[in-house]
A and B are shown apart, each in its own frame.
Chain A
Amino acid sequence: MFTSKITKIAVNILIILIAQNIFADDVFDGVSPQLGVVISDDYIEQIDFVVMPSGDGLPGGSGNAVTGKVLYSIHCMACHGPDAKGGINGDLAGGHGTISGPIPKKTVGSYWPYATIIFDYIRRAMPYQLPGTLSNNEVYALTAYILNLNGVIGEDELMNAQTLPKAKMPNSEGFIWAYSPSE
């Protein structure tokens, strides 16, 4: 009699637990406190820096290498050198054709697969001491200048959200994926 009462209680608890989905396949479903606060598009706009190779995520604005050259001498040259070579913090130009040779020299121009990465990285991280201080127009212009130094575009070509993803990098065919989703 005593045991049957316990069994009854146990069965009731089990039913409640099942109703609450605790035994569902996805164990987290029933127990997550669900405390995420839904955020607005405006907020996302402010914190989203992601640029995709397709150009998705690139902002409005534009710039060319002529303006970029001037900006480069003010904001970048001290660390990356004149014409983006021979500076203390790495070359951004040159090294073309060396990647499959005996001494590969990786620079933005000789190695990087997509032009969009230049915009993404400068907007996130450069100039090193004062990241986030350049306007989108300025970042486009600096990107255009680095592309021009590497012979990818002409000096007057305007880089913007439409043209930048189309700028074909010299080493764009030089990469394969080591990861496949089946791993």
Chain B
Amino acid sequence: MKETPDNINFAANNGLLDRRFFLKAGLGVGGGLMSASALSSEGKDRFPWMKQPGMPMGQSGPSRFEEHIKREGVGSQPGTTGSGASRTPIEYLDGIITPSRLHFERHHSGIPDIDPAQHRLVIHGLVERPLSFSMESLARYEHVSNIQFLECSGNSGAMISPKPLQRKASNLHGLVSCSEWGGVPLKILLDEAGIKPEGKWIVASGSDAAMMSRSVPIEKIMDDAIIATHQNGEPLRPSNGYPMRLFLPGWEGNACVKWLRTIKVTSGPSMTKDETSKYSDLRDDGIAELFTFPMGVKSVITSPSLSLNLTGPGIYQIKGIAWSGSGKIKSVELSADGGKTWAEALLDEHVLPKALTRFRSAWKWDGTPATIMSRAIDEKGNIQPTREQWFVGRAKNTFYHFNAIQTWGVNTAGEINNVYL
């Protein structure tokens, strides 16, 4: 028998359905549509775009009806255009790959227009042989490619606001993206240069106007760091570090230095401006933590979310993304009653370590006020904290590494707001 909203099983209170509801419900539909194509077109209708051949080939932009899907919340320091951020429109996306044109941005002095023929990657400092690599020579090295997220550690920083800010999912949490990153394991190049025993850190510097620089411990570099040259199959976009960037799976975006020019092997960190003044995490005792590299376990409901209002009682799909800098997502739980009861969401097929993971679940909204929230758990057993738990031990206005649960409130009109419980 086909399942209808009248005989379904609920997995948690306030309408959360069994996570397999859509799979089962989908089986029965579609039969009536098949035969129409067998008929001749005489007496039949055509849409205007069916009455003549379409546009020429070779276009690569999105449909003109989807042009609103663009980088959101573009903002820069007063008087500048390249010292700020833009965000991935996560509420409009599906799947785990962020199209390159929609990858978030966080720059410190604009996007350099680098000629790859002149660009060199230099490895120097505490090495046996200081070396320089051209793009051409790097192309001959072993390449690896992995689907992994990149998140700015300032992502979701607006969530520290004492009153909930009414912003779309992208403007709250859009400093996260996920790509297939391709490039050369940095270990190969460092082995070629020969690290001296005193070499314990590297200092990576970009060739942007600010020469953005970060120190990274050698263990991470030798473990899984890559010199990324490709993103989603094509050369990096200029806004993502063309022609090459450092990529550190699971670690904060700022340390993945874009437009990478030099790697100096050192005995310790350089204490650059962006690892002390910025991207350090102040505690409530006045002590700040340096080198808080890994990104915590996190999930966000992207739909329904602010601006994607509900249009009346009935069945909806709660959808979102989850990720962890420590490995794979193990499960995502959903609540529609403000965290009193929880049901496990369905994870989409691709559950990869340190990558965005899709979750969804069917939800029957009965038209009464609801509070929906998601909670991710990773394979190491890390559980996404509540907002209250996240604040414990932190200074009031510290905002890096915010990974707490966020709640969307639904009112009787189906309008959605960012709410604190």
Contacts and interface: CB of A to CB of B under 8 A. Distances in A.
Interface of A: 26, 28-29, 31-39, 43-44, 47-53, 57, 79, 88-89, 99-104, 106, 108, 111-114, 116-117, 120-121, 124-125, 128, 131, 174-179, 181, 183
B191 A33 contact: no
Contact of B271 (A34, A43, A117): A117
B1 to A, nearest CB: 54
Interface stretch (B59-67, B122-130, B374-382): B122-130
Smallest CB-CB A-B distances: 9 pairs: A100-B286, A36-B131, A35-B137, A179-B291, A125-B210, A178-B289, A124-B211, A88-B78, A121-B273
Contacts of A51: 270
B203 A36 contact: no
Contacts, number: 174
B191 A179 contact: no
Given A124-B205, A131-B211, 19 more contacts: A35-B138, A35-B140, A38-B130, A39-B124, A47-B124, A100-B285, A100-B286, A106-B277, A106-B282, A114-B271, A117-B273, A120-B213, A124-B211, A128-B83, A131-B109, A174-B287, A179-B217, A179-B291, A181-B219
Interface in B117-163: 122-125, 129-134, 137-138, 140-142
B217 A181 contact: yes
Of B131, B193, B213, B277, most buried by chain A (CB within 10 Å of CB) is: B277
A89 B291 contact: no
Interface of A is mostly: loop
A43 B122 CA distance: 10
B79 A79 contact: yes
A124 to B, nearest CB: 4
A113 to B, nearest CB: 6
Interface in B358-383: none
Given A99-B286, A178-B290, A121 B142 contact: no
Interface string B57-86: 000000000000000000001111001000
B270 A34 contact: no
Given A35-B133, A37-B131, A174 B191 contact: no
A128 B80 contact: yes
- Could you say which interface size class chain B belongs to? 35 or more
B101 interface: no
B211 A33 contact: no
A26 to B, nearest CB: 7
A178 B217 CA distance: 12
Interface string B244-282: 000000000000000001101010101111001100111
Interface stretch (B18-26, B41-49, B181-189): B181-189
Interface of B: 77-80, 83, 108-109, 122-125, 129-134, 137-138, 140-142, 185, 187-189, 191-193, 200, 203, 205, 209-211, 213, 217, 219, 261-262, 264, 266, 268, 270-273, 276-277, 280-282, 285-294, 395-398
A50 B213 contact: yes
Nearest to B401: A178
B205 to A, nearest CB: 6
A103 B209 contact: no
Nearest to A31: B142
Contacts of A100: 285-287
Contact of A125 (B137, B141, B209): B209
Contacts of A53: 268, 270-271
B142 A28 contact: yes
A175 B288 contact: yes
B98 to A, nearest CB: 27
A29 B203 CA distance: 24
B140 A33 contact: yes
Contacts of B285: 100
B397 A104 contact: yes
Given A28-B188, A124-B211, A181-B217, A50 B270 contact: yes
Contact of B193 (A36, A47, A125): A36
B293 A179 contact: yes
A34 B290 contact: no
Contacts of A79: 79
A117 B129 contact: no
Given A53-B271, A176-B290, A89 B276 contact: no
A39 B122 contact: yes
Given A51-B270, A176-B287, A179-B293, A36 B211 contact: no
